[in-house]
Amino acid sequence: MGCAGTVTSSISTDTPDGFGNSIKLDCTGTGTPVDNTNDYVRLQQSIEANTLQQLAYGTSSAKTITLSWYMKSVAYTDPITVGLSTMDGTVEYFLKSFTPTTSWVRYSMTVPGSTSATITNDNGTGLQVNITIAAAATPQYGQASDSTARNTLATAIETQLESDITRNSKALDTEVISLETDAGTLFPYGAISMVVKVVYEHESATP
């Protein structure tokens, strides 16, 4: 935890059925809002690289990972970003936002196997699981929201379309009508489906 406020952690016996203990985070003081890459509140679990070789990352046989956990919140109502990062090798990130309720609920996310990321066969950190409660909007730890990321992407695509508008000097305008991404966020690459409106100029036919 690296924020200006005060957050304390403790072991609690308040748990979902079938568990003996849980990790409890309490906000016991306020401070400067999270506004840079050094400010964050998150739970992090590192997994040793040499135990992950069976995932076959970096090959056409890369395996899918399903991560699940329980969480609840007494008063916190904002989304929490859960992410999986490859660390010891080629670095890639997969992030998704979840909004907790006041009751214990089991959440899960499926991370597609990466044919581009690699995990070095050593005793370094191969994967990191990050549950981020508050952080600056960075690729590794989270965006402000999935909708913000989609809007940012839509703007970037529309800007690029506008710069490539010539099309034999017949296109007058372009507009992104809709844009959807896959279950994860946009880092490093998400499957993208979009509808683009293009307005063309047409010459009148000679009678």
From first to last of the 207 residues of the chain, give the pLDDT tens digit: 444 467 888 999 999 999 999 999 888 776 655 555 566 778 899 999 999 999 999 999 999 899 999 999 988 888 888 888 888 888 888 888 888 999 999 999 888 888 888 899 999 999 999 888 876 555 555 544 454 555 556 666 666 666 665 555 566 666 666 555 554 444 444 555 666 666 666 555 555
Cβ atoms 65, 116 nearer than 8 A:
no
The fold adopted by the segment(s) 6-135 is: Jelly Rolls (2.60.120)
pLDDT, position 144: 40
- Helix, strand, coil percentages in the chain from 3-state DSSP, rounded to 5: 15, 40, 45
Tell me the two tokens of residue 8. 């304390």
Cα 195–Cα 143–Cα 28 angle in degrees, nearest 5: 150
Q: Closest Cα partner for 80 from 64, 65, 101, 66?
A: 101
Return the sign of the alpha-carbon dihedral for residues 1, 21, 142, 119. Answer: positive
Compute the CA torsion angle 41, 94, 150, 33 (nearest 10 deg).
10
pLDDT, position 187: 43
Return the sign of the alpha-carbon dihedral for residues 185, 188, 194, 199. Answer: positive
In whole angstroms, what is the distance from residue 150 CA to residue 141 CA? 17
Q: Per-domain residue ranges for the chain?
A: 6-135, 146-200
Tell me the two tokens of residue 158. 């529309």
pLDDT, position 171: 64
In whole angstroms, what is the distance from residue 69 CA to residue 87 CA? 21
Helices (H) and strands (E) in the chain, counts: 1, 10
- Output the CA–CA distances (angstroms, integers) from residue 57 to 20, 49, 104, 121, 196, in the order listed: 34, 11, 33, 11, 34
pLDDT, position 115: 86
